[in-house]
Structure 1
Amino acid sequence: MNSRQQIILQLVTDRGRMSVVELAKLTGVSEVTIRQDLNLLEKQNFLRRAHGYALGLESDDVGTRMMDNYPLKQRLAEYAASLVADGETVFIENGSCNALLARTLAEQKKITLVTVSCYIAHLLKDTPCEVILPGGIYQKKSESMVGPLTRQFLQQIHFTRAFIGIDGWQPASGFTGRDMMRAEVVNSVLENGAQGIVLTDSSKFNQLHPYPLGPDSALTRVITDNGLSQALRQQLTARYARLDIVSA
């Protein structure tokens, strides 16, 4: 991948959708050249094509998603980390914001971290943080442990807080996820009785996915950024005990 194609990929990843005309203007090459670049990037599974447009992939790869809007996600992670005290046992689920939270906590606090994310566990391998990773079925795309053995293991561990990643939220559905087995693990964790905290950037709101996460009563805090509309803020404030807005 040459430097121009890297720029194209970053633009499409950041914005989700870019036209051939826009990409040609921004990179200073012809539309023919852009189409050739997009064909190559699509063939390598970095993006997908639509008529006249390039669309970003909705990736399960945590490392890829962590680089998307990284400064904002790091600020969200630092705010969430400030809520945790030394000596706590904390559950952190999969997701890019949660991966940054885990790394921030491991660098700043003396805690025990429980996670189903093999990516997060590997991220912390050179830190003094104690990491508990349950057994179960290894879901390769998300690098996450799922299934009945994972749920059974998590029911035997007590933690004070559970930081949850989500894929969508709408007023009628509440929080939802894209993957059934990961949603089952999240719901098992929320039955544990720990404080359930949603940590996500605002892009996930007004999206709907098949698998419900909850119930609402188990989720006492939502941490997100100020990209939320005022209407969404009012809906979330009415529904959950606390809404924390972090400046972008």
Structure 2
Amino acid sequence: MKSAAGSAAVALERKADPLENVDYRLAVTPEDKERIYRLRYNAYLREGAILPSESERVTDEYDDLPNSFIFGVFVDGDLYSSIRVSVLNSEWRESLSAGMFPDLILPELDRGKVIIDPTRFVADPEKARRFPALPYVTVRLGYVACAHFNADIGLANVRPEHRAFYRKVFLQEPWGEPRLYSGLIKPVGLVAAHYPSIRDRVFQRFPFMRSSAFERRMLFERPGDQAFIRSFRIRPAVIAG
């Protein structure tokens, strides 16, 4: 019997446009972020990843960094999921995964690599059941970031039981054995892929993972980010998609 994820992948390969009713919104205001912090709390608590807290919110020191982008994924105008995309290079070196796995990530940054680190992927459980494509639509933001910032490596920070899914669907291989992050009670590990090597195979299977230059600019170029953007624009824009 096929898994739910496997069945969703097959359906996505046949579906013309799973993004038809999806809207990505960058969380900018305190109100936007607070709504996502509470979604994180409810999702993590539901899956037993955290203990209850009086604040009923999950945030960390990486949420307000210039190289972090917090997105809400809305379907028909309703918040379904969220993900944070951190963009790393030799100058911008802080993210959740870099903090957990400095021995693996920092040497790659020292070599001049650009790394996309999507973390804090959470979804409303009830809404996710109504929209099986939600995991794919949400993690797509990592692929959009990889194209926009000419990434060398795309990461996923996942629990051990989810590694097989990321390997099968997104061609990401285990990179770091599970470790505990402060506030979580379940360990998470790294999976990674060399983006230029796998991008065409992923796009061939899931064409909706592609993005236009206009979409990339709308999602990842914020007012006041000139210094951050310049640190990536010095690299030739050799990757499109």
- Give the TM-score range, shorter chain: under 0.3
Larger Rg belongs to: 1
Instruction: Give the TM-score, by structure 2 length.
Output: 0.28
Q: Which has the higher contact order (CA 8 A, sep 6+)?
A: 2
TM-score by length of 1: 0.27
